A and B are shown apart, each in its own frame.
Chain A
Amino acid sequence: MKKVTVQDQGLVEKTKCHAAAIGVAMKESVYPLTATVQYPRQRKKMPDNFRGYILFDPDKCINCWECAFICPANAIRMKEAPNKKYYPTIDYGKCIFCHFCIDSCTDSALRTTKIHDVAYKDMDEMVTLTEEMIEPPEIVREDTKLVEYQIDDKDLQITKTREVDNLFVDEVPPSVEIPVVSQCIDGASCIGCHVCEYVCGSGAISSSIANGVMNMAIDTDNCTGCGLCVKECTMQILKLVRK
């Protein structure tokens, strides 16, 4: 049988270890390290586009309903505004904060904020009308410190700053994609129903009748490439093509 003995570290080494332990204890008693956030006095720093309360800009909305179609929780309902356009309303009782609506919004009329805590008195109040989405909600802020977690290769580092975070995210410009325009790929199959003309928010599609022939035209300079006409075309003959 082999006997295991503790290796003697020597007096100097032992003293060092004890001193380090006492040092940590002293530090903790003066400036205690807590991993938790003292909400609401402190606020955790989140990445800029961490999904939060959704804001809406009616001037940019092209009425494509994409947000309502894509919403997996069916939280978005379109309501008719006095100007005969349909704008989204969000039921936060249903919203799962996937932000598919923001990702799908063709003209970035919807955007996120850093507000992750809004309280409601009852369920009905959670249905946020379009008017309430234009301006950020009034929230009472009690936080005075911003807590940031950083993990480096050694340890979890927590920094607490005295600054107060701005809750509104700067507008993120839409990602630069390949510019596309709507074009007709099979003019002979066109019914001539004008649905594309009706739905086009930028007025790029025009039609005129002369001598029993209807002329349809897409103005490629005005076309924003939103794809609304492509989606609505009943004969599926419109397509987004590279500009």
Chain B
Amino acid sequence: MHDADIKACEEVIKMATEAAESKWEIKVPDKPLKDKLYFENLKSVVIDTEICSRCLTCAAVCPGGIIVVGDKVDFPDYETKCLDCGACVRVCPRFVYEPLSGMGSSTAFIAGRSKRFAGQDGAMVTELIVSAMEMGIIDRGLFAGRNENWETEMFHVRDPEQLAITTLSGTKYTFADVLPELKKAVKFTKNGVGVVGTPCIVSGVRKLQQEYPIFREKVKLVVGLFCTENFHYSAISQYLRDKGVDFSKLVKTDITMGKFIATMTDSEVKFKVKALEEILPSGCNVCCDFTAVEADVSVGSVGSVPGYSTISVREAIAVKILDYIKEQGYAEFGEGDPGQLGFLVGHKKKRAENLKK
């Protein structure tokens, strides 16, 4: 028998045996504002009060795909176009907001440096995702790349060779549309998806997993990034242009020792990070999570010697992947120092006061 025929037969058998039901129930979420559409509720509770983190969980789950992804989350003509399903309210991590902070359930802090990939902290993240891919835990990873204007773009990586794209490495300090892409990835994946994100994105993923089993099943690895704040593309690009940064020559952006450094092919622009406070998004202003508390494993530069990244290990899956990396000798490891993290964790915890205001 032909291979394709066997496959078709298997499909038919699968169709016949799979548990399916013709009746099912959905819990309808509560509305704080009665007689209003769900999106109007979300708008009044999260967007208008300026605590929206722009994690785009709502845009990812919106069945019509009508929630617009811009600098701000918006939904033009929601009065006529909203299907009023309540999915956005169900998954929004900030609809009922209990700020997370601290280190989470970290079991170990390790300093690591990837031998295979070059770059900033992203190299260690890439190492984790690629190793998970080699182990067969996941079959695709979601990475944030950039275009020539330093706008973020999402890439689905299914083969380590794809990582040769240089625009994938390097920190961008700009919001990326991770979650809408995650939904697409979940649609096409067979084994599972690995996703990288800032604490707000990690919260969004966890909320999706909590509400919908399909995400619990398909999203296998969540890697968090240490994050103090992130910026809207339009705001930071304008700010950097004013400072004299030419985007066509820009090679790398970095924050070290309280200074923002934009390295270009022929020169460097440096200024204090504090100066960026004027363009700080309102959502970041109320975020207390520095280490991506809910992630399986978090990575960042703080807390280890230059060149190394701190890895905060939380879940068993992360331990398994790190053991594999050690076994294969893909990375060098050292001791991490969680003490250094304390300052930034404390710094972000203070932002809880902003929430009360």
CB of A236 within 8 A of CB of B83, answer no
Instruction: Kindly identify, within residues 158 to 208 of chain A, every residue whose CB is under 8 Å from any CB belonging to chain B.
Output: 178, 180-181, 183-195
Residues of A within 8 A of B83 (CB): 193-195
B213 to chain A, nearest CB (A): 5
Within 8 Å by CB of B25, from A187, A189, A219, A240, lies: A187
Selected contact of B213 from candidates A178, A189, A212, CB within 8 Å? A189
The residues in B between 20 and 63 inclusive whose CB is less than 8 angstroms from any CB of A are 20-28, 30, 61, 63
> Of B12, B20, B64, B212, which one neighbours A188 at CB under 8 angstroms?
B212
Q: Is A20 an interface residue (CB 8 A)?
A: no
Which residues on the B side are within 8 Å of A180 (C-beta)?
A: 15
Q: B85: CB under 8 A from chain A?
A: yes
Partner among A186, A212, A242 whose Cβ is within 8 Å of the Cβ of B15: A242
Asked if A151 is at the interface (CB within 8 A of a chain B CB), the reply is: no
Residues on B with C-beta less than 8 A from A241 are: 15-16, 18, 20
Q: Give the CA-CA distance A209 to B83 in the complex, in Å.
A: 15
A191 to B86, CA, bound (A): 8
Residue pair B15, A191 in contact (C-beta under 8 Å): no
B264 nearest CB across to chain A (Å): 43
For chain B, give the interface size range. 20 to 34
Task: List residues of chain A with CB within 8 A of the CB of B215.
Answer: 189
Nearest-Cβ distance from residue A180 to partner chain B, whole angstroms: 8
Mask of B73-115 contacts with A, CB within 8 angstroms, 1/0: 0000000000101110000000000000000000000000000
Judging by beta carbons under 8 Å apart, are B15 and A193 in contact? no
Chain B residues closer than 8 Å to A235, beta-carbon distance: 212, 214
**Which of B22, B86, B212 touches A217 (beta carbons < 8 Å)?**
B22
Q: Which residue of B lies closest to A213 (CB)?
A: B25
Contacts between chains A and B (CB distance < 8 A), count: 92
Q: Is A78 an interface residue (CB 8 A)?
A: no
Distance (whole angstroms) from the CB of A198 to the closest CB of chain B: 9
Interface size range of chain A in the complex: 20 to 34
Given the contacts A191-B87, A195-B63, A241-B18, A215 and B25 also touching, CB distance less than 8 Å: yes
CA distance A188 to B16 in the complex (A): 21
Is A144 among interface residues, defined by CB-CB distance under 8 A? no
> A186-B214, A212-B27, A213-B26 given as contacts; is B21 within 8 A of A192 (CB)?
no
Bound-state Cα–Cα, A192 to B18, Å: 22
| Closest Cβ–Cβ distance, residue A143 to chain B (whole Å) | 43
What's the Cα separation between A191 and B38 when bound, in Å? 13
> With the chains together, A188 CA to B19 CA distance in Å?
13
A219 and B23 alpha carbons, distance in the complex (Å) = 9
CB of B187 within 8 A of chain A? yes
Other-chain contact of A190, B12, B24, B30, B187 (Cβ < 8 Å):
B24
Residue of B nearest to A185 (CB): B20
A234 at the interface (CB under 8 A from B): yes
**Cβ-based interface call for A237 (8 A):** yes
| Given A191-B63, A195-B63, A236-B187: A184 in contact with B26 (beta carbons within 8 A) | no
Q: Are A190 and B26 in contact (CB under 8 A)?
A: yes
Instruction: Kindly state whether residue A216 has any CB partner on chain B within 8 Å.
Output: yes
Whether the pair A216, B26 counts as a contact (CB closer than 8 A) is yes
CB distance from B14 to the nearest CB of A (A): 10
Chain B residues within 8 Å of A35, by CB: none
Check A240 against B63 for contact (C-beta < 8 Å). no
Set of chain A residues within 8 Å of B64, measured between Cβ atoms:
193, 195
Question: For residue B88, which residue of chain A has the nearest CB?
Answer: A191
Do residues A193 and B28 form an inter-chain contact, with CB atoms below 8 A? no
Residue on A nearest B183 in the bound complex, by CB:
A234
Query: What 10 A-B pairs are tightest by C-beta distance, nearest first?
Result: A187-B24, A183-B20, A193-B63, A193-B85, A192-B26, A189-B214, A191-B87, A189-B212, A214-B26, A234-B63
24 contacts between A and B (CB under 8 A): A185-B20, A186-B213, A186-B214, A187-B24, A187-B26, A188-B212, A188-B213, A189-B215, A190-B26, A192-B26, A192-B85, A193-B63, A193-B64, A193-B83, A193-B87, A195-B63, A212-B27, A213-B25, A214-B27, A216-B23, A216-B24, A234-B65, A237-B214, A240-B15
